[in-house]
Amino acid sequence: MDSARKPQVATVRGADALPAAGRPLRNPLAAEQRIVLAGQAVLIGGLLLVWEYAGQTGLINVKLFSHPSDVIGRIWSMLAGEDLHGHTVFEHLFATGQALAIGFSIGAVLGVVLGFVLGRSALMARVFEPYLLGVYSIPKIAIAPLFVLVFGIGLESKIAVVVMGVFFMVFFNTFAGVVGVNEEFVNIARIMGARGMSVTRRIIIPAALPSIMLGLKMGVPFGVIGAIIGEYIAATQGIGWLIIRSTSFFDASGLFAALFYLVAATWLLSQLVSRIEARVLRWQPQRRQELVTY
Amino acid sequence: MATAPATVVRPSRPHVLRSQDRRFVLVLQVVIGIVVLASWELAIAARLAQPLIFSSPLRIAERMVSMLGGEIVYGRTIFDHIGVTFQQIAIGYALGASAAVVLGYLFGRVRLLRRMFEPIILALFSIPKIALAPLFVLVLGIGLWSKVGIVFIEVFFVVFFNTMKGVLEVIEEYVHIARIMGASRWQTSRRVIIPAALPSILIGLKMGVPFAIIGAVLGEYIASNQGLGWFILYSTNSFDASGLWAGILLLVGITWTLGQLVNVAQARMLRWQPPRRGRSVSVA
Amino acid sequence: MTQPVIEYEHITKQFWSQGSEVTALQNVSLTVGENEFTSIVGPSGCGKTTLLRLAAGLEDPTAGQTVFRGVPIDGINTRAGYVTQDSNLYPWMTLRQNVEFPLEIQGVRAGERRDRADEFIRMVGLEGFENHWPYQLSGGMQKRGSIIRTMVYEPSVVLMDEPFGPLDAQTRMVLQHDLLRIWGEKRQTILFITHDLTEAIAMSDKVVVMSARPGTIKAVYDIPISRPRDVFQIHNQAGFTEVYGEIWQTFRSEVVGSGADTAAAGQGGAAAGVA
């Protein structure tokens, strides 16, 4: 029984099968890229131009808004060591950095230690969980005044706020890292005869290290925020203090310039942190760690 | 020949607790709480530390009661102050969230827009918002609008990114199915894309609440003469530790309450979701 | 051949994938007739889904055109119904709301919407589940819901993309049976994609066999097996074995050549053994 039908059109293969109205196919995304860049240039360039124009012609109050040429001039003069309420911009950055460095060290150590202890003891973790979450839920800006009251104006209260910011980030990630250590690794080591501290040093810490590094890395911006909050409330120098000071002196170009230095310093800092992370985690396959932020 | 270890090796067990352990944990927690509060109170009573700087649980409780009873604090009741702060939060949140949802939706649906301007928004996001706050004060002044501005940017980014993510992750076939059935673009938006993106949008809106509160308080720290944040700072500068603690507790209480309200709203709007297994956020 | 509903005229479809050009379809021409149940079979990647998407207006051809009832397709084709491989019931709507959805889009009154939706819900045995959320339904139930969601507004043409693919064998047969029952009543034009040759022959009036990529039409077969067909015992129905053997010869070189689909190869072996 022949129920086959011949195909309605003979199948054609080979060169003569090219489409009659053929046009070469271009990668659509590549073509779009030019429009994308153009759009970005127009937006940013346009805004800068409008801003400059408004500033030059007095459409806006330059004390409140400033304008690009002023800002760039200020950045330049700050670079040259302009005196800003008693210190150069670098001295201000140093003051903030000092609080950041000390606070970060303290907060990181506390975070790792506590994360480790609670990570290895289910009981302790369960008991302290509500307290930790409770304190964490108080926003840093609300806790900062408490530190100011206790430590007064100056470096100590700044450091305390930084510690708050860094501690939780490092703690939660260390905790997750330690809890996440594959218990099989630990069991194997113990069966081989390894004891206590040796197990900790050789097995648990390296296994938890990626998470710890992640917590440390994410702790940096939180530390920066802590330092700046501290400076807003009670300080006599620092880049955050400088920003507030510029505000009350109606020094818009100073404010923008200080902002510029803050962003630049933060960016440099994060680059440094990335380099360190890469070196410490050389053995790590390119796995994406899950960030614990709650 | 290998010798057996001198002691039995017990395998490490993951964090699992039995019910009697749970009761034990609760008891421990209560004990710790009582011990901490009691030693604080005693330390102050014994003048081991300054009451003006540290206050004590009883003093704080006393202050809370009187404040909530209508005590005039620096010219107004605490309710007036809370009202001022709340107004800033509400307006800023409404504006910020609306703008963010609209833009997040557009950026999610229009690839060109996204490719062009998302990098710029990301770059702006990388500037710590607290650093931008004084700028708002400079430009918008000491009154309501600078705080509204700060709340706006605090809320905007988190809602924007979550909305965009939610819209981007909408299964494209959902849209095809509707369009082939004859749905117009508007019908498709309203009946398909937005409901599909809603879980993510709600997450963004929820996360925006604490950010909004922080923004308002921050604004009041920088420049204000009323509001809960102003009250907290003024207490600090006046060495009024009880007032400071009371203010902080009120702030935390308000944050928690708003958060719970959002949770309830979220649960109602997402009844259609399969229940999630286990606890969503767990330390232990 | 009945009145042509869909006409593919010299379709070539190329697209950009991971930095290089891919030719999905090469100079394909095909006519789908009114009220017929037509299946398209072929190895993975042969472009059968692309053909369906062209008819739905979800894709434009690189060359050639798709004609629907005499009018070239330009943009989304709302005159056809489309059933996707995954059920894709909207999770935020109950079963009934899902099934009523197309009627709502088209402005049908609430009362009539409910009646028509409930009729189809009954037809596939889902009474009692009207107010369930999709996540509360099994895979087979969701699939039925997805099919009646398209059938309910009675499009004269239904495009189906491997709708029974993700289901287990028993559920698949039950749904094939349900689909044929609905089709028996409504007699739409159905264009049905599948990689399962048995399923194609069991359901269809015509089976189109495609080559491996770049996709072309190798052959089109009439299926002379009489209706109604018993999908549960299709191997025993008169004419099945011969038709299967014949089509399998054409199908096999494409499938085995492209190194895919051991299931089809297994079936081919069994059929050859019987014949």
B53 interface with A at CB cutoff 8 Å: yes
| Angle, alpha carbons C127-C132-C135 (nearest 5°) | 125
What pLDDT band is residue B270 in, cutting at 50, 70 and 90? very high
Q: With an 8 Å Cβ cutoff, are B180 and C56 in contact?
A: yes
Question: Domain count of chain C?
Answer: 1
**Mean pLDDT along residues A179-184:** 82
Query: Distance (Å, rounded) from C-alpha C156 to C-alpha C152?
Result: 11
Specify the higher pLDDT residue, A110 or A25. A110
**Could you tell me how far CA B274 lies from the centroid of its own chain?**
25
Q: Distance from C8 to chain A by nearest Cα, in Å?
A: 11
Q: What phi, psi does C198 have (nearest 5°)?
A: -60, -45
Q: Which of B182, B198, B271 sits opposite C78 (nearest CB)?
A: B182
DSSP assignment letter at C90: -
User: Are C38 and C32 within 8 A, CB to CB?
Assistant: yes
Pairing mode of beta strands C189-194, C37-41: parallel
Q: Is B270 exposed, middle or buried (0-12, 13-18, 19+ CB in 10 A)?
A: middle
Q: Above 0.90 for ipTM, yes or no? A: no
Say yes or no: C221 contacts chain A, CB-CB below 8 A: yes
For C221, the closest of A5, A11, A13 (CB atoms) is A5
pLDDT of residue B15: 55
Work out the pLDDT band at A282, boundaries 50, 70, 90.
confident
Q: Which of residues 53-92 of C touch A (CB under 8 A)?
A: 62-64
Question: Do residues C88 and C146 touch, judged by C-beta distance below 8 A?
Answer: yes
- CATH assignment at residue C81: 3.40.50.300
The pLDDT, as a whole number, for residue A41 is 92
Most A CBs within 10 A among B3, B29, B283, hence the mutation to make, goes to: B283
Q: Which two tokens stand for residue A267?
A: 């960016």
Of C76, C84, C91, the CB nearest to B173: C84
Residue of B nearest to C80 (CA): B180
The tokens for C170 are 């028993």
Place of tokens 């670098």: A90
Q: What number of residues does chain C have? A: 275
B252–chain A nearest CA distance, Å: 6
Within the 109-128 window of chain B, which residues sit less than 8 Å (CB to CB) from chain A? Answer: 111-112, 115-117, 119-120, 126-128
Distance CA C212, CA C222 (A): 21
> C52, C83, C105, C137: which to substitute to probe chain B, counting the most B Cβ within 10 Å?
C105
Give per-residue pLDDT as tens, C235-270. Answer: 888 889 999 999 988 888 777 765 444 454 444 444
> Tens digit of pLDDT for each residue in B88-146?
999 999 999 999 999 999 999 999 999 999 999 998 998 888 899 999 998 898 889 99
- What domains appear along chain A, each with residue ranges and CATH number? 89-236 (1.10.3720.10)
pLDDT value at residue A43: 92
Q: Kindly tell me if the per-residue pLDDT of A289 is higher than 60.
A: no
Min distance C90 CA to chain A CA atoms (Å): 30
* Residue type, position A238, single letter: G
Measured CA to CA, the distance from residue C234 to residue B194 in angstroms comes to: 45
CB proximity under 8 Å: A 23-82 to C = 25, 27-28
Output the pTM of the full model.
Answer: 0.84
The closest alpha carbon to A220, from A173, A179, A155, belongs to: A173
Q: Supply the pLDDT for residue A26.
A: 64
The pLDDT assigned to B146 comes to 93
- What distance in Å separates the CA atoms of residue C256 and residue B229, rounded to the nearest whole number? 74
Give B177's Cβ-side CA count (13 Å radius).
27
Q: How far does C193 lie from chain B, in Å, by closest CA?
A: 17
What tokens appear for B136 in the block?
């708002």
- Answer yes or no: is pLDDT of A22 > 70: no
Can you tell me whether residue A106 is helix, strand or coil? Answer: helix
* Chains adjacent to B (≥3 CB pairs closer than 8 angstroms): A, C
The strands making up C189-194's β-sheet, listed across from edge to edge, are A4-5, C217-222, C206-210, C37-41, C189-194, C157-161, C80-83
Cα separation of A106 and A95, whole Å?
Answer: 17
**Residue B147: pLDDT over 90:** yes
CATH code of the domain made up of B82-227: 1.10.3720.10
Q: How far is A231 from chain C (nearest CA, A)?
A: 48
pLDDT score recorded for residue B284: 30
Indicate the average pLDDT of chain C: 87
Lowest-confidence segment of A60-69, A174-183, B256-265 by average pLDDT: A60-69
Does residue B1 register a pLDDT over 50?
no
Nearest CA to B167 out of B192, B149, B146 is that of: B192
Cβ neighbours around C250 below 10 Å, total: 17
B185: closest CA of chain A, how far (Å): 24
CB contact under 8 A, A5 and C246: no
Please, what is the average pLDDT of chain A?
82
Q: Is residue C243 part of a domain?
A: yes
Report chain C's terminal Cα–Cα distance, integer Å.
29
Q: Among A30-34, B197-201, C158-162, which is the least confidently predicted range?
A: A30-34
DSSP H helices in chain A: 28-56, 62-65, 68-79, 89-120, 122-136, 140-151, 155-179, 183-191, 196-199, 205-233, 239-248, 252-280
Q: Give the distance, in angstroms, between the CA of residue C15 and the centroid of all CA atoms in the same chain.
A: 23
* Pair C145, C137: CB distance under 8 Å: yes
Residue A63's CB is within 10 A of a number of other CB atoms, namely: 12
Question: Can you say whether residue B190 is alpha, beta or left, with left for phi > 0 and alpha for psi between -120 and 50 degrees?
Answer: alpha
Residues of chain C under the 50 pLDDT cut: 259-262, 264-275
| Residue C207: inside a domain | yes
> What percent of chain C shows pLDDT beyond 90?
53
What sign for the dihedral angle of Cα A183, A188, A191, A194?
negative
Cis peptide, bond prior to residue C228, ω within 30 of zero: yes
Domain span holding position C252:
4-263
pLDDT at A286 over 80: no
Report if residue C180 sits inside a domain: yes
Sorted by sequence, the CB contacts under 8 Å of residue A195 that are 6+ apart come out as none
Mean pLDDT along residues A33-62: 88
For the stretch C233-248, what's the b/e string if a residue is b when 16 or more beta carbons lie within 10 angstroms of its beta carbon?
Answer: ebeebeebebbbebbb
The reply to whether A200 touches chain B by the CB within 8 Å rule is: no
Is residue C268, in this structure, part of any structural domain at all?
no
User: pLDDT band at residue B281, thresholds of 50, 70 and 90?
Assistant: very low
Which residues on adjacent β-strands are paired with residue C28? C11
H-helix or E-strand spanning residue C31: strand C20-33
Q: Name the H helices within C40-138.
A: 48-56, 95-105, 110-123
Residue B212 has pLDDT above 90, yes or no: yes
Whether C195 is covered by a domain: the verdict is yes
Show Cβ contacts of residue B162 under 8 Å, excluding neighbours closer than 6 positions.
Answer: B104, B200, B201, B203, B204, B205, B207
Partner-chain contact B180 C76, CB within 8 Å: yes
Cβ-based burial of A268 (10 A; exposed 0-12, middle 13-18, buried ≥19): exposed
CA C122 to chain centre: 22
| Residues 248-277 of chain B whose Cβ lies under 8 A from any Cβ of chain C | 271-274
Q: Does B134 touch chain A (CB under 8 A)?
A: yes
Nearest CA in chain B to A132: B283
What pLDDT does B23 receive?
83
CA B62/CA B58 separation, integer angstroms? 6
Radius of gyration from C-alpha coordinates of chain C: 19
Specify the pairing of strand C157-161 against strand C80-83.
Answer: parallel
C76 alpha-carbon distance from chain centroid: 18
Interface test with A, best of C18, C27, C30 (most A CBs within 10 A): C27
Q: φ and ψ at C205, to 5 degrees?
A: -85, -35
Question: What pLDDT is attached to residue A21?
Answer: 40
Of B170, B192, B179, B172, which Cα lies nearest the Cα of C56? B179
A291 has pLDDT over 60: no
Quick one: which H or E segment has residue C32? strand C20-33
- Per the prediction, chain B carries an average pLDDT of 87
pLDDT in tens, C74-83: 889 999 999 9
CA angle A128, A133, A139 (to 5 degrees): 140
H or E segment and range at residue B150: helix B144-168
pLDDT of residue A6: 35
